[in-house]
Structure 1
Amino acid sequence: MKLSYFLFTIILSLVSLSIDAQIADTDTLRSLAARKGTVIVDVRTVEEYDEGHIGSSINIPLQILGDSIESLKHYEKVIVICRSGRRSAKAKAEFEEAGFTNVYNGGGWEHLKAILEAREEE
């Protein structure tokens, strides 16, 4: 019985983590990024950001996001990005814990950049 409960708890935790890490779909990201009131927050390190980034994004490294999160309350929607999607999933959870309701995991910054560039070409 204890083993079954333990396995159930582990499986439930893994499912919860995978749901939180889900990256928003392309159409949603394209639509959100075009709206006023949306901010793109890049949670990579300053060094990573300096190597390349989306021009309209702001850089707030994940390690200090909690210190700056309140300054972003005036935005209607937040897209969080990083290198691969892992840190942006953590940042999304941090925003939600701070009371933000319209937060989207944009995944890797290069993925979102490609989506935005494709929109501009249309």
Structure 2
Amino acid sequence: MGFFSAVFGNTDNNQLTEVVKNGAFLVDVRKPAEFAEGSVKGAVNIPLDNMHEQLSKFIAKQNIIVFCRSGNRSRQAKNILEQNGFQDVINGGTWQNVNQMVLQENQQV
């Protein structure tokens, strides 16, 4: 297990692939300037700092994937969502990791 996996949790790419395949709600929790520099196609930007004020955007969403630059903010976002009753939340880790899964899925379609 690598350093980041040990600190931030290991993302199960098989689970991530399956959830992406089923049309996950993709949420980039980085700051807007970071999001503008590049993100996952179809993702929405809900910065971690605004998560509590934006909880209504998650209502009725299933298979939520949160991600960021390193996996730290997405881990925090996952915790916030779960503490507020949202289930089926996955910490996708880095936006590059989630992007790779989305690109792979789009190639198979």
The interval holding the TM-score normalised by the smaller chain is: 0.7 to 0.9
Instruction: Specify the alignment match of 1:7 in structure 2.
Output: none
1:28 aligned to 2:15?
yes
Cα shift readout 1:46-78 (whole Å, capped 9, x = no counterpart): 000000011111000000011001221110121
In the alignment, the residues of structure 2 paired with residue 19 and residue 98 of structure 1 have an alpha-carbon distance, to the nearest angstrom, of 25
Matched ranges for 1:1-122 at <5 A: 21-36=8-23, 38-122=24-108
Q: Percent identity?
A: 31
Structure 1 unaligned residues grouped into runs of 5+: 1-17
Taking structure 1 as the reference length, the TM-score comes to 0.77
Deviation at 1:19, TM superposition (A): 8.2
Q: Residues 20 and 78 of structure 1: is their aligned pair in 2 closer, same or farther, counting only changes over 3 Å? A: farther
Structure 2 unaligned residues grouped into runs of 5+: none
Deviation at 1:118, TM superposition (A): 2.3
In the alignment, the residues of structure 2 paired with residue 34 and residue 83 of structure 1 have an alpha-carbon distance, to the nearest angstrom, of 22
Q: How many residues align?
A: 104
Which structure has the greater CA radius of gyration?
1
Q: Is the 8 A contact 1:20 1:89 kept in 2?
A: no
Taking structure 2 as the reference length, the TM-score comes to 0.86
Q: Residues 58 and 105 of structure 1: is their aligned pair in 2 closer, same or farther, counting only changes over 3 Å? A: same
In the alignment, the residues of structure 2 paired with residue 34 and residue 63 of structure 1 have an alpha-carbon distance, to the nearest angstrom, of 29
Q: Which runs of 4+ in 1 moved over 3 A?
A: 18-21
